[in-house]
């Protein structure tokens, strides 16, 4: 058992990593060429580990829904077990927008975190701007076709019409918009709580090192994101690994 002080530090990392890593970019690779249709609705539950320590500090529940023209998705992150006793953390992200021939086109991204004001980003595709409202501050940044938000990126990677990696695109969070390079790192077999799975590994990294996200898409499961590893600017890591995958269930809160 780790000393109490260490647990407090690890629990605190949930907030710092999520807050510090909410910037990235999407792209497409050859994976999309053989992709099975994106399931219209489903849910993935991830265990969240602190780096490579093997210590689970939380759980993330990701749900989505889409039809021919619209999509909606949500990710809810919470501390679990002893970590929850030391720090009751709840962080919810939502993304909604259009499904186009070029992939996902976000229109609104929002974040709700216990104890903090509602934050959101609104995409103005006609004006080529995204407006970010943090409650206590507002900012805007330019966008171009194909740019994503931090939540939609993992599904955009498997959209047939999206640009193929390597590519540089902007990804928007509740904090800012950042440009990162998306690279296809090839096939990789990963061991997850869900089991051993063949995947395609993508990296989403900025040149300045401030954006570091790795995403593994499952080859036998519609190229869904079964592992997401995020590193913030301090080098702190959250590793989300799928333990449960359900397709065809209505996503709680979906707008249908």
Helix (H) and strand (E) counts for the chain? 3, 15
- pLDDT tens digits along 7-39: 444 445 444 444 444 433 333 444 444 556 899
Q: Which of 63, 13, 11, 29 is nearest to 235 (CA)?
A: 13
What is the tens place of the pLDDT at every residue in 229-239?
A: 999 878 889 99
Least reliable range by pLDDT among 13-17, 46-50, 197-201: 13-17
Q: What is the pLDDT of residue 84?
A: 66
CB 178 within 8 A of CB 170: yes
Boundaries of every domain in the chain = 4-247
| Res. 142: pLDDT tops 90 | yes
| pLDDT surpasses 90 at 166 | yes
Decide: 56 and 239 in contact? Cβ < 8 Å.
Answer: no
pTM for the model = 0.83
Instruction: Give the C-alpha distances (Å, rounded to integers) separating 217 from 5, 185, 229.
Output: 36, 11, 12
pLDDT of residue 249: 63
Query: What phi and psi, each to the nearest 5 degrees, are found at residue 118?
Result: -60, 140
End-to-end Cα, the chain, rounded Å: 46
Pairwise CA distance, residues 87 & 69, whole Å? 40
Per-residue pLDDT of 77-100, as tens digits, reads 998 887 766 777 899 999 999 999
pLDDT digits (tens, 9 = 90+) for 100-110: 999 999 999 99
């Amino acid at each position: 058992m780790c000393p109490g002080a260490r647990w407090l530090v690890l629990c605190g990392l949930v907030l710092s990593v999520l807050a510090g890593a909410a910037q990235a970019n999407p792209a497409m690779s050859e994976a999309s060429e053989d992709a099975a249709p994106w399931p219209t609705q489903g849910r993935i539950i991830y265990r969240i580990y602190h780096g490579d320590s093997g210590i689970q500090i939380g759980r993330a529940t990701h749900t989505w829904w889409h039809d021919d023209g619209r999509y909606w998705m949500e990710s809810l992150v919470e501390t679990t077990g002893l970590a929850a006793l030391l720090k009751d953390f709840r962080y919810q992200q939502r993304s909604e927008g259009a499904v186009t021939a070029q992939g996902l086109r976000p229109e609104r991204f929002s974040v709700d975190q216990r104890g903090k004001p509602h934050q959101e980003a609104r995409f103005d595709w006609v004006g080529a701007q995204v407006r970010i409202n943090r409650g206590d501050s507002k900012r805007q940044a330019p966008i171009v076709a194909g740019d994503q938000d931090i939540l939609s990126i993992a599904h955009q990677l498997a959209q047939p019409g999206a640009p193929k990696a390597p590519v540089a695109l902007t990804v928007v969070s509740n904090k800012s918009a950042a440009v990162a390079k998306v690279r296809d790192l090839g096939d990789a077999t990963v061991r997850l709580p869900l089991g051993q799975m063949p995947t395609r590994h993508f990296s989403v990294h900025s040149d300045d090192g401030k954006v570091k996200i790795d995403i593994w898409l499952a080859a036998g499961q519609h190229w869904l994101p079964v592992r997401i590893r995020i590193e913030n600017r301090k080098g702190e890591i959250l590793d989300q690994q799928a333990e449960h995958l359900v397709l065809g269930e209505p996503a709680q809160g979906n707008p249908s």
